[in-house]
Amino acid sequence: MPGLLLGDVFPNFEAETTCGRVKLHEYLGDSWGILFSHPRDYTPVCTTELGRVARLSGEFSKRGVKLIALSIDSLEDHCGWSKDILAYNCEKSECCKLPYPIIADSKRELAVALGMLDPDEKDKDGLPLTARCVFVIGTDKRLKLSLLYPATTGRSFDEILRVVDSLQLTAEKRVATPADWKPGECVMVPPNMPEEEAATLFPAGVFSKELPSGKKYLRYTPDPRNQGECVDTERSQTEPNSCTSLL
């Protein structure tokens, strides 16, 4: 049975959190959203993850992204553990001062409904813990990206910021981002876009790599949010400076 699919409207669930009762869509408002789960409070990998998200919260806010965490522990545990996370980050603070709420899903209702459980990691009663799940939700409340890591592998939240950058760029401009892309680097022209349309849409230039097949599908253009910074007009039109290593 497929769970949530890309493009599905994300369920507008209600839940108890460290910042009070939350209804997801109202909490998100006009922002992007990230719902991320972790297996258990007072565990080492989770502490490093929630600490990292707290340190990166300014970067998420800059991108207009609201964060919300979830695990199957109680509110009381979340509040006690929040102090440890802040101490791990070398901050002295009171309970519930993490810059995002944590959902208390002690009955596992949301974890089951959203397909967040890791069958390989069980608690002392043999019940599965939540996996390390990430859902990125667009301003239209639809699912834009999901990641599912097992309990034993901590996530890279720098990577999650990177995918938010790609999702937000590709929501606005008709481009795609290549492997390991970072903002400012060349982006790809989608394969179904005719050459004439690409030439009009990307005045900074479209540069294609010669391939043994002779097919011109590997087409780059400078990051459209960084127009002008990327292309050296003195150079050949097949080699903009920041695309050189790609061609």
Chain contacts with ligand BEZ (rule: CB under 6 A): 39-40, 43-46, 121, 129, 151-152
User: What are the catalytic residues?
Assistant: 46, 140
Q: How far is the CB of 40 from ligand BEZ (least distance, A)?
A: 5
Dihedral sign for Cα 121, 157, 221, 32, please: positive
Answer for the pair 30, 140: CB distance below 8 angstroms, yes or no: no
CA distance 50 to 78: 11
Distance, in Å, from the CA atom of 144 to the CA atom of 80, rounded to the nearest integer, reads: 33
Whether the CA torsion 174, 134, 25, 114 is positive or negative: it is positive
How far from chain centre, in Å, is Cα 117?
Answer: 19
Token code pair at residue 11: 């369920």
DSSP one-letter string for 61-87: HHTTEEEEEEESS-HHHHHHHHHHHHH
Strands (E), the chain: 14-17, 20-23, 32-37, 65-71, 102-104, 117-122, 128-130, 132-137, 143-149, 187-188, 207-208, 219-221
Helices (H) and strands (E) in the chain — how many of each? 7, 12
DSSP at 148: E
